């Protein structure tokens, strides 16, 4: 029986509106609390047994709906706890949620039981950033030090409180390389003035440093950023660079990487089980200049290698040329030592 108690001018009314002694009402409420505490203990023991049996726990919790008869309270288990949804990992260890009349100390004890520790480091812990470079910033009062506001006596230094924060700094700077020049001070027949050698440059008369070129290739091809994104990002840092300049730098750097590309292709050709597939790829024809055209991008995977081949057609000649198959006979070309070769080609990723 659910007791609703109304107190007004010393008069206590029961659920039917009749006067009831305050002592009887309090005794009935204490009885309800005792029964609620017993039910909570029984539920905790049952939940502990079900946690040791995950399959049985899920099957029971999906269909479990326990009504506490005698006190008019309804207990419902969290739906997210039983359904295995997106947030089920966060509420797996929680107790049932009570709806209805708050049961005093018994309900408070039940609501606080079984909760996981919250806050930083509660589950997975903080990540380790000890490998990152560090710099120290010292914060002090204006003028340095602190004086007593009452007598003006200067405080002694006690130490410092260090708070570590991650700082993300992206800048585009100008590297001014100063090459020292020297003038001859003797009468020997040698050049009258000499200049120290400059920094090594992968692209002879380019505008960018080697580090800039490496970052350009990494962002463009490793991170997959478009040319417009790179231009916009540099502009936000105050460096207005045209897309043509970046494209020209990438083309010149690509010529430097040609030997490495040839070595990767050669290793891929030596594989006996390459995996190949092709897809359409819109390109601007480099010679015809008639706008975008439909080409084909071939992807050939081998042990430790990945080759990308651009070709106007999707015929088997592209694969035959890469794998070393004779176009006239359809046979594999012999190995370097003249021995036979074996080849298995699979397609469709």
**The domain containing residue 10 runs over which residues?**
6-111
Do residues 20 and 107 share a domain?
Answer: yes
Q: What are phi and psi of 80, to 5 degrees?
A: -65, -25
Confidence at residue 22, expressed as pLDDT on a 0 to 100 scale: 79
Tokens 């992968």 sit at which residue?
Answer: 202
Among candidate residues 111, 142, 164, the one where a domain is terminated = 111
Do residues 38 and 85 share a domain?
Answer: yes
Residue 84 lies in a domain: yes
Residue 129 lies in a domain: no
Residue 125 lies in a domain: no
Do residues 14 and 74 share a domain?
Answer: yes
Confidence at residue 285, expressed as pLDDT on a 0 to 100 scale: 65
Q: Over the range 71-87, which residues count as b (16 or more CB within 10 Å of their CB) and which as e?
A: bebebebbebbbeeeee
Do residues 85 and 22 share a domain?
Answer: yes
Residue 179 lies in a domain: no
Residue 194 lies in a domain: no
Dist CA 246 CA 9 (whole Å): 86
Residue 18 lies in a domain: yes
Residue 323 lies in a domain: yes
Do residues 266 and 342 share a domain?
Answer: yes
DSSP assignment, residue 195?
Answer: E
| β partners of residue 193 | 183
Q: Over the range 199-235, which residues count as b (16 or more CB within 10 Å of their CB) and which as e?
A: eeeebeebebbeebbeebeeebeeeeeeeeebbeebe
Number of structural domains found in the chain: 3
Measured distance between the N- and C-terminal CA atoms of the chain, rounded to whole angstroms: 67
Residue 20 lies in a domain: yes
Strand (E) positions, the chain?
6-8, 11-13, 66-68, 73-76, 97-99, 181-183, 193-195, 275-283, 293-302, 305-311, 346-347
Do residues 53 and 107 share a domain?
Answer: yes
Question: How does pLDDT run across 33-75, given as a tens digit for each residue?
Answer: 888 999 998 998 888 887 776 555 455 555 544 433 344 444 4
Do residues 235 and 289 share a domain?
Answer: no
Do residues 12 and 105 share a domain?
Answer: yes
Do residues 88 and 12 share a domain?
Answer: yes
Among candidate residues 111, 137, 165, the one where a domain is terminated = 111
DSSP string, 223-291: S---HHHHHHHHHHTT----HHHHHHHHHHHHHHTHHHHHHHHHHHHT-SS-EEEEEEEEE--TTT--S
Query: Is this model's pTM higher than 0.95 or not?
Result: no
Q: Nearest to residue 220, comparing CAs of 239, 199, 243?
A: 243
Among candidate residues 256, 273, 294, the one where a domain is terminated = 256
Confidence at residue 282, expressed as pLDDT on a 0 to 100 scale: 80
- Count other Cβ atoms within 10 Å, centred on residue 327: 9
Question: How does pLDDT run across 158-190, given as a tens digit for each residue?
Answer: 999 999 899 988 899 999 999 999 999 998 999
Do residues 78 and 26 share a domain?
Answer: yes
In Å, what is the CA distance from 318 to each residue of 298, 323, 324, 325, 347?
Answer: 8, 9, 10, 10, 14
Q: Over the range 291-305, which residues count as b (16 or more CB within 10 Å of their CB) and which as e?
A: eeeebbbbebbbeeb
Do residues 272 and 342 share a domain?
Answer: yes
Do residues 248 and 266 share a domain?
Answer: no
Those residues of the chain that have pLDDT short of 70 are: 1-20, 53-125, 284-292, 327, 330, 334-342, 345, 347-349
Confidence at residue 144, expressed as pLDDT on a 0 to 100 scale: 87
């Amino acid at each position: 029986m659910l007791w609703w108690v109304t107190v007004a001018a010393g008069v206590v009314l029961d659920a039917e509106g009749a006067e009831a002694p305050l002592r009887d009402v309090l005794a009935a409420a204490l009885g309800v609390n005792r029964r609620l505490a017993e039910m909570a203990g029984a539920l905790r023991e049952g939940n502990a047994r079900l946690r040791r049996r995950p399959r049985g726990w899920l099957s029971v919790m999906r269909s479990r709906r326990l009504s506490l008869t005698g006190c008019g309270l309804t207990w419902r288990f969290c739906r997210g706890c039983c359904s295995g949804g997106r947030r089920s990992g966060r509420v797996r260890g929680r107790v049932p949620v009570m709806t209805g009349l708050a049961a005093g100390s018994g309900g408070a004890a039940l609501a606080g039981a079984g909760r996981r520790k919250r806050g930083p480091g509660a589950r997975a812990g903080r990540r380790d950033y000890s490998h990152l470079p560090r710099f120290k910033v010292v914060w002090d009062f204006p003028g340095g030090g602190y004086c007593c506001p009452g007598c003006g006596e200067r405080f002694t230094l006690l130490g410092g409180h260090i708070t570590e924060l991650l700082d993300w700094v992206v800048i585009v700077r100008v590297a001014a390389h100063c090459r020292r020049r020297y003038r001859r001070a003797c009468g020997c027949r040698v050049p009258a003035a000499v200049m120290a050698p400059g920094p090594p440059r992968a692209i002879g008369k380019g505008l960018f440093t080697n580090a800039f070129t490496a970052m350009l290739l990494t962002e463009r091809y490793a991170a997959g950023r478009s040319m417009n994104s790179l231009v916009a990002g540099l502009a936000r840092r105050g460096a207005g660079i045209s897309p043509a300049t970046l494209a020209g730098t990438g083309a010149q750097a690509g010529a430097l990487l040609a030997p490495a590309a040839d070595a990767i292709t050669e290793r891929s050709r030596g594989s006996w089980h390459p995996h190949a597939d092709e897809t359409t790829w819109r390109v601007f024809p480099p010679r015809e200049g008639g706008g975008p055209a439909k080409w084909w991008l071939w992807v050939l995977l081998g042990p430790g290698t990945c080759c990308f081949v651009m070709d106007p057609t999707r015929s088997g000649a592209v694969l035959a040329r890469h794998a070393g198959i004779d176009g006239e006979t359809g046979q594999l070309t012999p190995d370097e030592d003249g021995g036979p070769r074996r080849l298995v080609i699979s397609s469709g990723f």
